A and B are shown apart, each in its own frame.
Chain A
């Protein structure tokens, strides 16, 4: 059997697959690989933008770069807080949307809306809402008597990060809500009925049935959002540009500034590499956890 049908089928398969693979390699694999290479040279205004081999200099510079550590801290804070808030709120919204009420379809559509809108435009919307002089948020709080004078939400280093997080939560919670809603809908109603016959309260059902069965979706959504939040760019860039005084500067903003403003390509590449590695480790850890969870589930299933 030299050229069997199976071989032909395989050949066809590779033909179908190759364009997509090439494009993915070009746009995803090459830039990352290239960054690894670039991170070993110094290429900036000091070298007149010519690459000069520098070994691991960029990395040792990074270790002492306070601004880098600050941005890492900001990124982690932003990521952790926004993902947790989004998961909680998303779960709440999913639970609401899973109830039966009139014109539920329309409400679901409206709830999906924020997810679809361009982040950069939404960022301007929130900038306007949180404007210190004319912003509606200050106006509402003043009218309710919760504050006496307008707060400079985006200009105050204590508040800026929280403001950005609020905008991010608004924009991406619908995505999580949708995934969790799909998960909720896949839980067979018999389970709740059986549990209710056993005398369980709603709260017990939620705790004993809904949460455990939803856990895989929660983790998947969380993982997905974690990776995206870690690379947040549009929102912060447009809302604060990293300010005030670096209070909201995330790693991605620092990378962008290093490359586009300071034209420090070698160091920018090193920043890319380190971010990539951190993210990869986190994702690997999460995937491993997910796989473990699934394995445990699979064993527990027949009971």
Chain B
């Protein structure tokens, strides 16, 4: 185990394909860092740069106090789990797990002992003499995991390891992964485009878009305080409402509702306003600001209804709200409240979050 450090990492394939721009981040011992972003944003590229499968155009990869940027993958002492699992089809499960250790000339007694431990831990005992072709998807996934764990590397890398599993199994393995990696101190870098995985597994999440690091924070803060408009829209399901509003005298105007801007800012003429559908609620007696609207669409999500509401006093502005499914909403006029602590404000030009008082 050792800390992983990326310094100003850049990768250019062709002048027009630049999947990574100036990425710097540290992953400390015991940390589980997730790279999260839409498909094509450069997550796998980052992982492959760490692994040494690609060379950065500029920048450094450091593991512990070693600069490994120019070391071949085999010498970096990292382990990687691939989306396709990449098990060697002609080797048995045992040989698959042992291959990395054998290449490092480990004594066979120790190899056996390590594999014994790992296979017991992952429940692979029965499967040792099978070939990957004779395993189910979940079993293959676990063999791939075992092959990484048995190495006891300095860093674990996982590239969308759950995306080839069906939905049910995925949830189960996700929980297992959490246990496995919580129980050990080696830093983990995990790549996914699935925010649930990122939220549930990570100690920290790095949101990437278009090769740029958007935000690096704990899952909770990424949800509560998205650093910019992209993170706000990417994290959370259903998506956050993001509306273009006009400002006047410390307030933004949404229909007949005056929303107080954060106090620190010099009031801009326009602003991007955001609120998550799950934070919109029905009005209560104590609310001062009330938003009137008409329900134009109801989507039943089971535990709640997702309403699309046309805000009164606007030219067709739509707001989505997640409300309890305890009555029929369709076509009704309703009054909603937007709790001040749940509001997000972003700059119109840069998309950055406006500074606010909340910690």
The answer to whether any beta carbons of A and B sit under 8 Å apart in the complex is yes
In the bound complex, residues from chain B placing their C-beta under 8 Å from that of A1 are 55, 70
**CB 8 Å contact bits of A1-41 with B (1 = contact, 0 = none):** 10111101000000000000000000000000000000000
Instruction: Give residues 69-92 of B contacting A (CB, 8 Å).
Output: 70-72
Q: Which residue of B lies closest to A1 (CB)?
A: B70
**Distance A8 CA – B55 CA, assembled complex (angstroms):** 12
**Distance A3 CA – B71 CA, assembled complex (angstroms):** 11
**Distance A140 CA – B266 CA, assembled complex (angstroms):** 105
Q: How many residues of A contact B (CB 8 A)?
A: 6
Residue B42 at the chain A interface, CB threshold 8 Å = no
In the bound complex, residues from chain B placing their C-beta under 8 Å from that of A8 are 72
**Distance A8 CA – B74 CA, assembled complex (angstroms):** 14
In the bound complex, residues from chain A placing their C-beta under 8 Å from that of B71 are 5
In the bound complex, residues from chain B placing their C-beta under 8 Å from that of A3 are 70
**CB 8 Å contact bits of B44-86 with A (1 = contact, 0 = none):** 0000000010010000000000000011100000000000000
In the bound complex, residues from chain A placing their C-beta under 8 Å from that of B52 are 5
**Distance A6 CA – B52 CA, assembled complex (angstroms):** 10
Chain B nearest Cβ from A2, distance in angstroms: 9
Q: Which residue of A lies closest to B58 (CB)?
A: A1
**Distance A3 CA – B72 CA, assembled complex (angstroms):** 12
Chain B nearest Cβ from A69, distance in angstroms: 52
In the bound complex, residues from chain A placing their C-beta under 8 Å from that of B70 are 1, 3-5
Chain A nearest Cβ from B181, distance in angstroms: 28
Chain A nearest Cβ from B146, distance in angstroms: 28
- Most chain A C-beta atoms within 10 Å of own C-beta, residue among B52, B55, B71: B55
In the bound complex, residues from chain B placing their C-beta under 8 Å from that of A5 are 52, 55, 70-72
**Distance A94 CA – B186 CA, assembled complex (angstroms):** 60
Chain B nearest Cβ from A16, distance in angstroms: 17
Chain A nearest Cβ from B57, distance in angstroms: 9
**CB 8 Å contact bits of A87-112 with B (1 = contact, 0 = none):** 00000000000000000000000000
Instruction: Give residues 153-167 of A contacting B (CB, 8 Å).
Output: none
Q: Which residue of B lies closest to A7 (CB)?
A: B55
**Distance A234 CA – B72 CA, assembled complex (angstroms):** 53
Q: Which residue of A lies closest to B69 (CB)?
A: A1
**Distance A5 CA – B54 CA, assembled complex (angstroms):** 8
**Distance A97 CA – B72 CA, assembled complex (angstroms):** 51
- Most chain B C-beta atoms within 10 Å of own C-beta, residue among A1, A3, A6: A1
Chain A nearest Cβ from B199, distance in angstroms: 35
Chain A nearest Cβ from B52, distance in angstroms: 7
Q: Which residue of A lies closest to B52 (CB)?
A: A5
In the bound complex, residues from chain B placing their C-beta under 8 Å from that of A6 are 55
**Distance A4 CA – B71 CA, assembled complex (angstroms):** 8
In the bound complex, residues from chain B placing their C-beta under 8 Å from that of A4 are 55, 70
**Distance A217 CA – B34 CA, assembled complex (angstroms):** 48
Q: Which residue of A lies closest to B71 (CB)?
A: A5
- Most chain A C-beta atoms within 10 Å of own C-beta, residue among B70, B71, B72: B70
Instruction: Give residues 113-127 of A contacting B (CB, 8 Å).
Output: none
Chain B nearest Cβ from A1, distance in angstroms: 7
**Distance A148 CA – B52 CA, assembled complex (angstroms):** 81
Chain B nearest Cβ from A15, distance in angstroms: 16
Chain B nearest Cβ from A12, distance in angstroms: 11
**Distance A63 CA – B52 CA, assembled complex (angstroms):** 63
**Distance A38 CA – B28 CA, assembled complex (angstroms):** 72
**Distance A74 CA – B71 CA, assembled complex (angstroms):** 63
**Distance A92 CA – B71 CA, assembled complex (angstroms):** 58
Instruction: Give residues 12-62 of B contacting A (CB, 8 Å).
Output: 52, 55
Q: Which residue of B lies closest to A3 (CB)?
A: B70
**Distance A1 CA – B71 CA, assembled complex (angstroms):** 12
- Most chain B C-beta atoms within 10 Å of own C-beta, residue among A4, A5, A8: A5
**Distance A236 CA – B70 CA, assembled complex (angstroms):** 61
**Distance A4 CA – B54 CA, assembled complex (angstroms):** 11
**Distance A5 CA – B51 CA, assembled complex (angstroms):** 12
**Distance A6 CA – B69 CA, assembled complex (angstroms):** 12
Q: Which residue of A lies closest to B73 (CB)?
A: A5
**Distance A182 CA – B351 CA, assembled complex (angstroms):** 54
Q: Which residue of B lies closest to A6 (CB)?
A: B55
Chain A nearest Cβ from B53, distance in angstroms: 9
**Distance A1 CA – B57 CA, assembled complex (angstroms):** 9
In the bound complex, residues from chain A placing their C-beta under 8 Å from that of B72 are 5, 8
**Distance A4 CA – B72 CA, assembled complex (angstroms):** 9
**Distance A1 CA – B69 CA, assembled complex (angstroms):** 10
Q: Which residue of B lies closest to A8 (CB)?
A: B72
Chain A nearest Cβ from B44, distance in angstroms: 18
Q: Which residue of B lies closest to A4 (CB)?
A: B55
Chain A nearest Cβ from B72, distance in angstroms: 6
Chain A nearest Cβ from B85, distance in angstroms: 24
**Distance A6 CA – B53 CA, assembled complex (angstroms):** 10
**Distance A8 CA – B70 CA, assembled complex (angstroms):** 11
**Distance A5 CA – B61 CA, assembled complex (angstroms):** 14
Chain A nearest Cβ from B75, distance in angstroms: 10
**Distance A5 CA – B72 CA, assembled complex (angstroms):** 7
Write the residues of chain B forming the contact surface with A, with a CB cutoff of 8 angstroms: 52, 55, 70-72
Would you list 6 pairs from A and B whose C-beta atoms are within 8 A, ordered by A residue? A1-B55, A1-B70, A3-B70, A5-B55, A5-B72, A8-B72
Known: A3-B70, A5-B71. 10 other contacts (CB 8 A): A1-B55, A1-B70, A4-B55, A4-B70, A5-B52, A5-B55, A5-B70, A5-B72, A6-B55, A8-B72
6 tightest Cβ-Cβ pairs between the two chains A and B: A6-B55, A5-B55, A4-B55, A5-B72, A4-B70, A5-B70
